[in-house]
Chains A and B, each alone.
Chain A
Amino acid sequence: MTQTLDQIFVIAKAWLLGYLPVAARPLASAVLCVIAIVITFPLLFAITTWLERKGLGRIQNRLGPNRTGPFGLFQPIADAIKSLTKEDIVPLTADHAVHFLAPLLLVAAAFLAYAVLPVGRNMVLVNLNAGVLFFFAVGSVVELSVFMAGWSSRSKYSLLGAMRAIAQMISYEVPLVLATVAVIMQAGSLSTVDIVNQQATYTHTLPHWFVFTPWGFVGFVLFMIAATAESNRSPFDLPEGESEIIAGYYIEYSGFKFALFFLGEYLGMFATSGMAITLFLGGWAAPFSFLTWIPSYVWFFLKLLALIGFFIWIRGTLPRLRMDQLMNLAWEFVLPMALLNMLVAGVWHFMPHGLLRWLVCTAIVAIPCILLAAGLKRKKKFQVRTYQFAE
């Protein structure tokens, strides 16, 4: 019974395909999977906007939306209607073609990233041999759409915001990729399905998730830092900081295109946290062996909601980073630690099992982390600010 429940979607798809002629089956199965993704993740986007506003409210000792429906549950629908019915103003001097294409490219790239995420046991749209590489290839297209948005609006704020956003995304994409290299070295394959299958095994009730190893935990922390920066969220939302440059690259967008930007940003966040779950938190694997009767996709979405809650919690807590702090953190802490993490993964792989391996690896990771952190802290000496031009 649990097996059928676990494979309910796969069986349903096979049953639906049964009605089609054999020739159209591969195409139809792809279309079905795409429809499933295009429905579930925007739905998750709606739920997350509600979660975010209620969560941030509660963190700041206030209620959060409670007018539209019970507990404000219809707030996402209200937001959607509001942004869809708003007038879509395009600046006169804007470059209309590029201005129109930017949000489309952003949302397309965000959706493409879901092709390789294993949502459940053999529930992945396409089992690519180089799945992780495909994910990062599509992730790098997002920067292009950010530039197109910023440049085509022909306003100083949006161009400045776009340049900041691209500088931030590029300098945090390097550690993001390096953090995954440690996992790929250990799993021995770039395919996300293999990575999850390796983590789905248990030793008497404890799972083999990569996050429970020294290099896995450090990799997970680095991956989450880089993921927050990659999706321009909370402590790294300088490019769209309302107080700094109003709204950064999507300042000249309104109505439906603005909603598309929001959708693209949140989908990007879900995709990177989905990849974090696949790489470090055991994808759809249950946390304990006696819990495997719960269907696999439930675990994936529970972990996704947990990570989204964590993002919201971080957004409610941490102040925004300045541009130089942001860059210092990227190039002086996150990147060296990611390189070190690869070394530790190598050491972990070749050392025999046992406590010694744990001690050596944690030592190799912990000591440089403290030294680098001290380096970052020592830099924080507040001297009198010297103005270059305004003498």
Chain B
Amino acid sequence: MFGDGILKGLAETARNFFGSYRSKNRLTTIQYPEERLPQIEAARSFPFLVYDGADWQQGMRCVACQICEKECPPKCILIKKSADKKPDATGKLQAYPAVFDIDISVCMSCQICVEVCPFDAIKMDVDYDLPTADRFAGLLLDKQKLSKSNQYYHQIHPTEAAAVDAALAAERAAAAAKAKAAADAAAAKAAAPAPAPQVQPAGGEPR
């Protein structure tokens, strides 16, 4: 019959219309500021700098190696190396960035800086609610605004943070073991030269 397609369509929209009043779960609207969609774990918005411990300046992992600055496609990272050094997590003296600016109006959240960072110092944040009145200074985040604690990192990306911490811990353990081994070797070498004159053919240094 001519027009039956139209009638079927009308019936469908009528069912939708009255259904939306009967059962609330038909409605897909999320009232944004009040209700929010649950954040999926792999979500990302803009990068932030991770620091261990309490003090954000001392615990900052970033050693200002400027790899991320060179790798960033839209060139939105600016790093100035510091003159002096500070001890990093493993106690080794490392440089740190005096100035670390990211212009989030330019940043395209591509996460390349996170992938190239050898020290896991920069990770992707999930907070997208960054309204500012001033579109220049307001969107240029300096070192202090960028740095957030490791606990926060665990909050937003739990699995990833755990994996990074495990790797860092293993790395520190290896470094500590190597350092200890080197220290033992140095100590052994210091002790060895004393008896060296008596036992010449000792067959080389003990490894």
Contacts and interface: CB of A to CB of B under 8 A. Distances in A.
> Are any A and B Cβ atoms less than 8 Å apart in their complex?
yes
Interface of A: 55, 58-63, 313-314, 316-318, 369-370, 373-374, 376-377
A61 B13 contact: no
B26 A317 contact: no
Interface in B10-24: 10, 12-14, 16-17, 20-21
B13 to A, nearest CB: 5
B3 A63 contact: no
B21 A317 contact: no
Nearest to B19: A61
A60 B26 CA distance: 10
B29 interface: yes
A58 B27 CA distance: 8
30 contacts: A58-B16, A59-B16, A59-B17, A60-B16, A61-B16, A61-B20, A61-B26, A61-B27, A61-B28, A62-B27, A62-B28, A62-B29, A63-B27, A63-B29, A313-B14, A313-B17, A314-B10, A316-B17, A317-B6, A317-B9, A317-B10, A317-B12, A317-B13, A318-B6, A318-B9, A369-B2, A370-B2, A373-B1, A373-B3, A376-B2
Most A CB within 10 A of own CB, among B2, B21, B26:
B2
Nearest to A372: B2
A73 to B, nearest CB: 17
A58 B3 contact: no
Contacts of B6: 317-318
A317 B10 CA distance: 6
A370 B6 CA distance: 15
A62 B14 CA distance: 14
Contact-residue size bin, chain B (C-beta under 8 Å from the other chain): 10 to 19
Interface of B: 1-3, 6, 9-10, 12-14, 16-17, 20-21, 26-29
Contacts of B20: 58, 61
A373 B13 CA distance: 24
B14 to A, nearest CB: 7
Given A58-B20, A62-B29, A373-B3, 20 more contacts: A55-B17, A58-B17, A59-B13, A59-B17, A61-B26, A61-B28, A63-B27, A313-B13, A313-B14, A314-B10, A316-B17, A317-B12, A318-B6, A369-B2, A370-B1, A373-B1, A373-B2, A374-B2, A376-B2, A377-B2
Contacts of A62: 27-29
B20 to A, nearest CB: 5
Contacts of A317: 6, 9-10, 12-13
Most B CB within 10 A of own CB, among A316, A317, A374, A376:
A317
Contacts of A318: 6, 9
A307 to B, nearest CB: 15
Contacts of A373: 1-3
Nearest to B12: A317
A55 B17 CA distance: 8
A314 B12 CA distance: 12
A376 B12 CA distance: 24
Contacts of B28: 61-62
A369 B27 CA distance: 40
A62 B1 CA distance: 32
A55 B26 CA distance: 15
A374 B1 CA distance: 9
B21 A58 contact: yes
A369 B3 CA distance: 11
A373 B5 CA distance: 13
Contacts of A63: 27, 29
B131 to A, nearest CB: 17
A373 B3 CA distance: 9
A213 B140 CA distance: 74
A320 to B, nearest CB: 13
Nearest to B14: A313
A146 to B, nearest CB: 27
A194 B2 CA distance: 35
